[in-house]
């Protein structure tokens, strides 16, 4: 037999094997069984299943509802492929078949890069899950998925029917506001194709790192927490601003400047678009937090307020009538006749069930994450992504003579202690207005106005006073820093706990860049304390 005939016979055999394997898969699915192939597992969904872990999914036939989005391979606007990301700090994900012929293929997925200390507790292992393994890394569980609040569908219907365009979800910590926001965003994406997201929560932003606020255009559905899609292709950032803190409590005036800047950018880019806008409010809705929320509602022309009541101390003040939410003055704004046009919907339907679900802990794995861990995850994912890229591997060296530090916190005595290992915003200033160098050898200003626009952020690794240089890692490349003429670093109160960001081997090149150790305080939700590790000389008695 010649070589050509042997190749033809081999090709025929391979083709026959593929046909037989396809027929076996189809037969197995018709009988309600699963079928595995080289790429993954094909599963026919006759009823909803709830999963935990991470994987890539593709709807082969039929329709599947997941986290509010209808995945349909035959729809022009619909998507058929998506990623599942359900770590222990997030609710389990439910896949609900729409019809009798829904078939899904599961592929192994990749975890987002984060520091090992947190990654080990993010996902359950086989022994800690109450269901069977679907594919490596993804497990079926008896937990409940996201419980849709009773009034949420009515709110979404009002937006789809074009009765309202600007919506703001209000709720205290633990009310499920973030999950409801994400669900609403996915539902609206199916109808409009795009959703505008205005970030008003600097502590736990949906599309940025803590300390920043952004105007974002979302165009792909997300199945998982915010950090699982951070910096990926799901959205486009139209504008960013740097508050410099995880809470507006220290500088509420600066906070409102940031919100108003994002609102001005919204009007500039989407004046007559008709795309729905979601304002992601803070979980702090008492005292100053309530006053700032009132300012946002008035300044941003919010038309619909959806209030998630959790019957906890984080709700609106006790005894406050919801309809009188805008009856009092805010931090800067006053009541106006237009306040009566704002529709307010209260929803307390998931309170009792949410309390039960929070106590339902998967055996051996943590379900409730500390707020500080979530912020660390966001920082870690961003910097691991840049640090492990060749283009960002080496820190940029910038002369202190060619840059200005805009220090928002005016009550700073040790400027170098503030800047080392800190997160700063990137801006630029006309060199004609450069101030003179101070006694520390740096150019320093303290301006709130005029520095709302932010091009990106940087981690200040070290300041070399002898060479007169600053070393930074940035989310912008060196060429981008040069082309944008970045010469201003906006600094406030964000110190990074870099000891847990990378592997210890990777941090050996920065022996002088760790003057602080992170102090964890799990009793305080906003804990962000550091202690000085420098050896202090004892005072000697004379």
pLDDT higher at 100 or 194:
194
**Residue 366 pLDDT exceeds 80:** no
Higher-pLDDT residue of 15 and 59 is: 59
SS3 of 312-345: CCCCCCCCCCHHHCCCCCCCCCCCCHHHHHCEEE
Examine the pLDDT at 12 and tell me if it is beyond 90. no
Rounded to an integer, the average pLDDT of 206-223 is: 92
pLDDT of residue 31: 40
* pLDDT score of 351: 64
Q: Supply φ then ψ for residue 94, to 5 degrees.
A: -105, 135
User: What is the band of 39 on the pLDDT scale with cuts at 50, 70, 90?
Assistant: low
User: Which tokens belong to 437?
Assistant: 């160098």
Task: Tell me: pLDDT of 518 over 60.
Answer: no
pTM: 0.83
Query: Residues 221-245: what's their mean pLDDT?
Result: 88
Structure tokens that stand for 264 in this block: 């001005």
Helices (H), 150-210: 152-160, 177-192
Q: Mean pLDDT score of the chain, rounded to an integer?
A: 79
User: What was the pLDDT predicted at 276?
Assistant: 94
The domain limits of the chain are 1-31, 35-140, 152-356, 389-532
pLDDT of 393 higher than 60: no
- The average pLDDT across 83-104 equals 88
Q: What is the pLDDT of residue 275?
A: 92
- The residue with greater pLDDT, 290 or 321, is 290
Q: Which has the higher per-residue pLDDT, 126 or 200?
A: 200
CA–CA dist 74, 66 (Å, integer) = 16
Mean pLDDT check: name the lowest of 450-454, 462-466, 518-522.
518-522
> What's the whole-number mean pLDDT along residues 354-358?
50
What are 50's two structure tokens?
Answer: 């709830």
Distance of CA 69 to the CA centre of its chain: 19
Give 534's pLDDT tier (boundaries 50, 70, 90).
very low
What is the rounded distance in angstroms from the CA atom of residue 65 to the CA atom of residue 23?
27
Q: Is 147 exposed, middle or buried (0-12, 13-18, 19+ CB in 10 A)?
A: middle
Q: What is the pLDDT of residue 425?
A: 92
Residue 71: per-residue pLDDT: 93
Alpha-carbon distance of 134 to 160, in angstroms, equals 36
Check whether 398 has a pLDDT greater than 70. Answer: yes
Maximum mean pLDDT: which of 228-232, 250-254, 292-296, 348-352: 292-296
Mean pLDDT of 144-164: 89
CA distances to 161, 183, 373, 396 from 357, rounded to whole Å, are 33, 18, 21, 47
Q: Would you say residue 511 has pLDDT above 90?
A: no
Q: Is the CATH code 3.90.930 the one for domain 35-140?
A: no
Mean pLDDT of 255-269: 94
Q: What is the CATH number of domain 152-356?
A: 3.40.50.300
Name which residue leads in pLDDT, 78 or 75. 75
Asked if the model's pLDDT at residue 193 lies above 80, the reply is yes
- Fold matches, 35-140 and 152-356: no
**What is the pLDDT confidence band of residue 218, given thresholds at 50, 70 and 90?**
very high
The yes-or-no verdict on residue 495 having pLDDT over 80 is: no
For the cut 80, the answer to whether the pLDDT of residue 372 exceeds it is: no
**Of the ranges 29-33, 42-46, 167-171, which is most confident?**
167-171
Q: In angstroms, rounded to a whole number, what is the distance separating the alpha carbons of residues 219 and 77?
A: 11
Task: Record the tokens describing residue 210, joined without a space.
Answer: 């803590």
Greatest mean pLDDT range, 73-77, 89-93, 524-528: 89-93
């Amino acid at each position: 037999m010649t070589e050509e005939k042997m190749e033809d016979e081999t090709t025929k055999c391979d083709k026959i094997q593929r046909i037989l394997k396809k027929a076996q898969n189809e037969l197995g699915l018709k009988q309600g069984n699963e079928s595995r192939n080289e790429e993954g597992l094909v599963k026919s969904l006759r009823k909803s299943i709830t999963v935990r872990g991470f994987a890539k999914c593709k709807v082969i036939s039929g329709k599947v509802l997941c986290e509010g989005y209808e995945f349909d391979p035959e729809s022009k606007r619909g998507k058929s492929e998506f990623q599942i990301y359900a770590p222990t700090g997030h609710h389990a994900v439910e896949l609900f078949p729409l019809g009798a012929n829904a078939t899904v293929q599961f592929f192994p997925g990749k975890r987002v890069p984060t520091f090992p200390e947190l990654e080990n507790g993010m996902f359950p292992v086989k022994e800690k899950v109450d269901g069977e393994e679907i594919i490596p890394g993804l497990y079926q569980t008896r937990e409940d998925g996201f419980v849709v609040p009773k009034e949420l569908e009515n709110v979404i219907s009002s937006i789809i029917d074009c009765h309202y365009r600007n919506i703001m979800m209000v709720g205290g910590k633990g009310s499920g506001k973030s999950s409801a926001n994400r669900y609403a965003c996915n539902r609206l994406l199916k109808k409009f194709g795009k959703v505008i997201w205005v970030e008003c929560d600097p502590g736990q932003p949906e599309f940025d790192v803590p300390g920043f606020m952004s105007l974002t255009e979302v165009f792909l559905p997300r199945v998982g927490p915010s950090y699982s899609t951070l910096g990926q292709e799901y959205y486009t950032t139209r504008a960013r601003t740097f508050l410099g803190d995880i809470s507006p409590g220290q500088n509420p005036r600066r906070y409102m400047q940031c919100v108003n800047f994002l609102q001005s950018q919204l009007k500039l880019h989407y004046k007559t678009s008709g795309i729905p806008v979601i304002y992601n409010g803070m979980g702090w809705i008492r005292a100053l937090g309530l006053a700032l929320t009132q300012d946002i509602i008035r300044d941003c022309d919010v038309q619909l307020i959806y209030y998630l009541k959790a019957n906890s101390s984080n709700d609106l003040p006790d005894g406050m009538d919801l309809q009188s939410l805008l009856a009092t003055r805010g931090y800067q704004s006053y009541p106006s006749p237009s306040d009566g046009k704002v529709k307010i919907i209260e929803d307390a339907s998931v309170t009792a069930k949410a309390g039960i679900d929070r106590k339902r802990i998967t055996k051996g794995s943590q379900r409730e994450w500390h707020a500080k861990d979530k912020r660390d995850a966001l920082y870690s994912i961003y910097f691991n992504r840049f640090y492990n890229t060749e283009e960002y591997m080496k820190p940029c060296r910038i002369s202190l003579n060619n840059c200005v530090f805009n220090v928002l916190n005016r009550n700073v005595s040790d400027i170098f202690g503030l800047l080392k290992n800190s997160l700063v915003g990137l801006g630029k200033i006309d060199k004609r207005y450069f101030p003179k160098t101070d006694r520390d050898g740096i150019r320093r200003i303290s301006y709130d106005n005029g520095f709302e626009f932010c091009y990106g952020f940087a981690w200040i690794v070290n300041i070399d006073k002898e060479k007169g240089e600053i070393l930074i890692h940035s989310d912008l490349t060196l060429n981008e820093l040069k082309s944008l003429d970045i010469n201003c670093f906006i600094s406030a109160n964000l110190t990074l706990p870099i000891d847990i960001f990378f592997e210890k081997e990777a941090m050996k090149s920065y022996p002088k860049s760790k003057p602080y150790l992170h102090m964890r305080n799990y009793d305080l939700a906003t804990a962000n304390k550091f202690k000085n590790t420098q050896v202090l000389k004892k005072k000697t008695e004379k």
